Amino acid sequence: RRGMRGTYTTGSTPGLFEHYLAEAYRKSIEEGNQYVFINAWNEWGEGNYLEPDEKNGMAYLEAVNKAKRGIHGE
């Protein structure tokens, strides 16, 4: 949908995603923000839902929860 301006990443894993999301949470908190927005990895035109996939199941969703709990000490 972005033509030649599109970007993509390779080599993603739930563990790496959790690590970088936790870093984003930390930076957001340090800057006095309460939220981190995630642009869903599925078709953005279909609602931007974070949902399980066939390859990793719930692992990325669990990574979101772990990153949040790690920052808030839960």
Measuring CA to CA, which residue among 72, 73, 67 is closest to residue 18? 67
Q: What's the confidence (pLDDT) of residue 40?
A: 67
Phi, then psi, of 5 in degrees rounded to 5: -90, 0
More confident residue, 56 or 4: 56
pLDDT band at residue 41 using 50, 70 and 90 as cut-offs: low
Residue 18, pLDDT above cutoff 90: yes
Measuring CA to CA, which residue among 59, 33, 12 is closest to residue 51? 59
To 5 degrees, how large is the angle CA 31–CA 64–CA 73?
Answer: 65
| Mean pLDDT on 59-73 | 86
* pTM of the predicted protein model: 0.75
Q: What's the confidence (pLDDT) of residue 49?
A: 72
Q: What's the confidence (pLDDT) of residue 9?
A: 78
